[in-house]
Structure 1
Amino acid sequence: MGDILFLAHRVPYPPDRGDKIRSFHMLRHLAAQRPVHLAAFADDPRDMDRPELADCTASRAIVRRGKSQAVAGIQALASGRPLSLTAFDDWAMRRAVEAVLARENIDTIFVFSSQMAQYLPAEGGQRVIMDFVDMDSAKFAAYAQAAKGPMRWIYAREARLLVAAETAVAARADASLFVSEAEAGLFRRTTGAERVHAIENGIDTGFFDPSARFERVEAGPALIVFTGQMDYRPNVEAVMWFAEDILPQIRVARPDARFAIVGRNPTDAVRALARQEGVIVTGEVNDVRGWLAAAALVVAPLKLARGIQNKVLEAMAMARPVVASAAAAEGVDHNGTIAVAETAGGMMEAVTLLLRDPQNAVELGRDARARVIARYGWDARLAPLDALVGLRARLGEAA
């Protein structure tokens, strides 16, 4: 029985953003049963050395990613390839992957995110598991529909080239994974691909537990919280929409309402929101749980969302009442334990009702945590992965 090579477009630690949460738990799950060799990019200097990964990796090859968007854009136009791929095309990573394949007995390659599929060997005979997570081409197609001028052409080009690349990778892979059945179904319908499976995200309900030990945040009774990576376009659009179109209406009924935008790398546009009455922009925080615990409620007003939103699961696990857009709630099997609103008026009304009725908010949060515990434990969510990677069959053969 051979080892696993795990390719990731970001170092899967710390698990403090959506993609790194999923990749970390995938990596740890696989490493519990077979040796795993990690090859990953670091876009943060702190990720060049993460000793915490030593317990779940047999070896690590980390490559610093420093290519600018301008250079990646020129390469994409010159090569006819998607910008999403040229941005992660790096000779040092190719050499690192080749070295692992030459040195180790690798019989399975687990590819996390489509950007890393370009490092698959032309010939090798290894089992290939491709975790697309979301269908990136569909995201860019949605961007194109909403854009105007040159950006419409750029996004449409990216969507067209990406779907061709995704189709080709899926044809080669032994299994293609997506974070929800909705994403998996969309991929099947769009590409005609077979061997497509949904492996949902989970949540560490021991860590995200309101009774756990963590640094508390002092806040008033009407704190509304949003969490996320704040240079990610859907998150930026979400908080701007909420702060500019929804929060002012809420503050008519609740002048003490405040909106905290919690997450690293806020763009200039997000930082500018802090000049608005009632808006807080924190930037990176050491532990998001303090802000979640302090929240009267958590909002997820995303207009564009793919798959299962970790931010929603985390808030539910922290027993917070959640008001989410239909897009943000779509992939979450919440069984009515979160409030869903389609419009700015609907979101304003849902938030205001919860602020007016703290007891109902507490009960909704309690039900949300119970739902997450029952439905989204990581062990249960990742159990189908074993058969796809061949763990159960091989363990059975060894017995």
Structure 2
Amino acid sequence: MRRILFITTRNPFSKQYSGDRLRSSQIIKYLSKKNKLDLVYSDVLTNEAIPDKSFKGNKFFFKRSLFLSLINSFLQLLKINPLQLGFFYSENAHKFIENQHHNYDVIIFHLLRSAKHIPSNFTGKKILEMTDVYSDNYKQTFDQISFLNPLSYLYFLEYLLIKNYEKKCSNIFDKIILVDNNNLKKSKHILKDKIVKINNGSFIQKKSFIFKKNNNKIIFIGNIKYLPNKEACFNFVKKILPKINKKFPEIEFHVIGEISILNKIMLKRYKNVKVLGPKKNLKPLIKNSICGISNLNIATGMQNKILNYMSYGIPSICSFKSFNNSELKKGKDLLVYKHDDELINFIFKLKKNKSLSNKISNNGYTKVKKSFNWDFVLKKYSKII
């Protein structure tokens, strides 16, 4: 049994859904089964109670001030460090970790932004759950934004700072966890012998998809406060859905996930768009669905939304940029498109072709059940701690 401290910058068990929270909560629950694990987390939000049935270890919460987060971001910039290191930094959390680190054999830092909390003189194993190569995410975002937008220069600066810091982390941490082969290809600046690939996983649900000619929903699941998801939703309702509705006026686009009030109002202005907000029980929402989509133009790692769709047997369509897992087969487990016309064509085929729709549904569901169960994919963690 190992004594583990897990450090993250958001409540992993929050009711607000996001892919990073889902992954961190599953790692915590998995490692807690055979080890003593304590949790340190900070947030600008008020602390949400974590029920014992989710996690029975010690929980230490530190509230961050938004004002201090902005000041800390500026201070990190002066040190030529990424802004996010300062924004997510908590002085009280850091003091606690400095005073308590000797009680643990292993410390796991969730995402690059928590790495600033690494204690001095810790002699145990240090693991960075980086998940994605974040520098690439910022580079893709910079490429997507007009150079006339002042934010584009901020994204480019952060890209350079994060890439340099990712390189530094190679010399600090014993192991760095990445989520898929696509991230491995983009990690040449990180020492190869430090990297371990551990996939995302999914919960196995009862298969709910039933092909019917009157199915009329296209599903998108994700945190719409996250820029790549927001951009994907607005791109779909502006450019794709109108073309689909010319042939099938009854087809609707259903958005499920955390979203700001402003973006909710703006999306609902478009015809045949339903914004449902964050939902824990997806089963009643996916009834009459044609497919689930991951139409991201900015993507670094394996998208949890794809595994989520497959876990219910919903046929999945994803952009080429979203497709980065060699264990999933194009045209068999899911459909992968390279341009908008191909996306529209795939949706039409899944709407009309029962054979194709059931093939993608059954193969995707079987693959997730066999290869992406959380307990199965997280076995590697037992070996590296």
TM-score (norm 1): 0.88
* % identity of equivalent residues: 20
Distance 1:94 1:264, change over 3 A: same
Quote the residue 2:186 is aligned against: 186
Q: Is the 8 A contact 1:7 1:116 kept in 2?
A: yes
Q: Is the 8 A contact 2:208 2:283 kept in 1?
A: no
Q: Is the 8 A contact 1:292 1:298 kept in 2?
A: no
Q: Which has the higher helix share?
A: 1
Q: Is the 8 A contact 2:253 2:273 kept in 1?
A: yes
Deviations 1:54-112 (A, max 9, x none): 6442x11012234257545533444432111111111121123234325xx21111111
Distance 1:54 1:263, change over 3 A: closer
Quote the residue 2:352 is aligned against: 356
Deviations 1:287-329 (A, max 9, x none): 2333234422111111111111110001001000111111112
Q: What count of residue pairs does the alignment treat as equivalent?
A: 375
Q: Is the 8 A contact 1:42 1:48 kept in 2?
A: no
Quote the residue 1:64 is aligned against: 63
Equivalent position to 2:366, from 354, 365, 370:
370
Structure 2 gap segments, 5+ residues each: none
RMSD: 2.2
Distance 1:81 1:276, change over 3 A: same
Quick one: distance in 2 between partners of 1:298 and 1:350?
12
Quote the residue 1:216 is aligned against: none
Local SS of the residue matching 1:48: coil
Q: What pairs with 1:1-399 in structure 2 (closer than 5 Å)?
A: 2-14=2-14, 16-45=17-46, 47-52=47-52, 55-57=55-57, 59-67=58-66, 70-71=70-71, 73-101=73-101, 105-147=103-145, 148-149=147-148, 150-187=150-187, 189-205=188-204, 208-210=205-207, 221-266=215-260, 268-331=262-325, 333-335=327-329, 336-389=332-385
Aligned letter for 1:167?
Answer: K
Distance 1:174 1:79, change over 3 A: closer
Aligned letter for 1:351?
Answer: I
Distance 1:2 1:323, change over 3 A: closer
Q: CA deviation at 1:230?
A: 0.9
Distance 1:281 1:54, change over 3 A: closer
Deviations 1:145-198 (A, max 9, x none): 2331432321121111111211112211111110112212321x1334531110
Q: Is the 8 A contact 1:227 1:262 kept in 2?
A: yes
> Which is bigger in relative contact order (C-alpha 8 A, separation at least 6)?
2
Quick one: distance in 2 between partners of 1:347 and 1:244?
14
Structure 1 gap segments, 5+ residues each: 213-219, 390-399
TM-score (norm 2): 0.91
Q: CA deviation at 1:284?
A: 2.3
